[in-house]
Amino acid sequence: MSKKKVWDIYGKKRIFFIIPIVIALAAIIVALIAGIEVDIEFKGGTLITYSYTGELDTAALKSAAESYGYGTVNVTTGSSLNSSTNNVTLSYASNDGLTADVLNDMSAGLMEKFSGNQLERLNSQDVSPTSGWKFFVKCLVAVIFSFILLVVYIAFRFKKIGGLSAGVFALVALIHDIVIVFASFIFFRLPLDANFMAVVLTILGYSINNTIVTYDRIRENRTLYGKKMGLVELMNTSVSQTMTRSINTTVTTAFAALAICVVALICGVESIISFAFPLLIGLVAGFYSSVFMSGSMWVSWQLHKEKKAIAEKK
């Protein structure tokens, strides 16, 4: 049996660390210049629901609604729960809701333009951003609590390889994944909404699983080879042994997310795209941080501790 190739991950750690830093800085620059797209649930605004018949051209409706100059419009379609009526909802994100006169004028124009679909206004309502921010804070608390539990769990499980440091660097890898997901919303001008937190919570599970697999192999190889294998060789060997598994796991899930993106683009379902596409980016980011960052950070810290201990003995 041929010996498995060992990749020099640690030797190229500077490159692997610089890439996400550049992406994060670029996202900050884009956010400062172009701003951050925020969905109606966080910014506030107005929701207008219409009933319609036949095949509605949602792209044309979106263009027509935005032509009135009251901002970007998100269009979502659905069906009424108590009837077979098809509904379409226009979401205007703004600090102030639309006035009654504006709603009446715009609705009259849209109903006239889409008379073939028998477009009729069912209701409209102003949305307060308070509920959205409460939801965001609750999700943030859940993420922080999960971070603490993960660090404690990894610290106990991997005591033989410096468990606390392993947990901390696994946490750093997770923060990296969240930053990259956030950057995808900035670069592709996706509105920050509940989907952002859903993607974050989903990615945490996939990313930490890959990281734990890597740490587990490092622990096994440390037990098998002891001091015969240096820390750098130990990490490179362990990551190389688990890379195929990490690639297969990520690619399988990423293909599913990509398929959802393609179908959503064809059908024009923007609400699904804002979940599936950042999820795809997050899966790649999770693989990247687990394979190319967490192990290298752990080795760097262990080498630092060894140098410090030697210096103290002199």
Q: What is the DSSP string of 40-79?
A: HHHH-EEEEEEEE-S---HHHHHHHHHTTSS--EEEEEEE
Q: How does residue 96 score in pLDDT terms, banded at 50, 70 and 90? A: low
Q: Residue 2's pLDDT is what?
A: 43
300 shares a domain with 162: yes
Q: How does residue 191 score in pLDDT terms, banded at 50, 70 and 90? A: confident
- Which range, 18-22, 64-68, 122-126, 163-167, has the best average confidence (pLDDT)? 18-22
Residues pairing with 86 in the sheet: 52, 79
How many domains does the structure of the chain reveal? 2
Which residue segment(s) compose the domain that 239 sits in? 10-35+131-307
Q: How does residue 3 score in pLDDT terms, banded at 50, 70 and 90? A: low
146 shares a domain with 57: no
184 shares a domain with 75: no
59 shares a domain with 146: no
Domain end, chosen from 93, 127, 161, is at 127
Q: Which CATH number goes with the domain that contains 64?
A: 3.30.70.3220
Domain end, chosen from 127, 153, 180, is at 127
Q: Residue 268's pLDDT is what?
A: 67
| Mean pLDDT over the full length of the chain | 87
* 8 A C-beta contact, residue 110 and residue 65: yes
Q: Residue 95's pLDDT is what?
A: 67
Q: Residue 184's pLDDT is what?
A: 94
253 by DSSP, 3-state: which?
Answer: helix
232 shares a domain with 137: yes
Domain presence at residue 3? no
Domain presence at residue 1? no
26 shares a domain with 73: no
Q: Which CATH number goes with the domain that contains 281?
A: 1.20.1640.10
Pinpoint the alpha helices (H) of 49-162: 58-66, 100-113, 130-157
Domain end, chosen from 127, 158, 191, is at 127
What is the pTM assigned to this prediction? 0.83
Domain presence at residue 314? no
Domain presence at residue 220? yes
135 shares a domain with 122: no
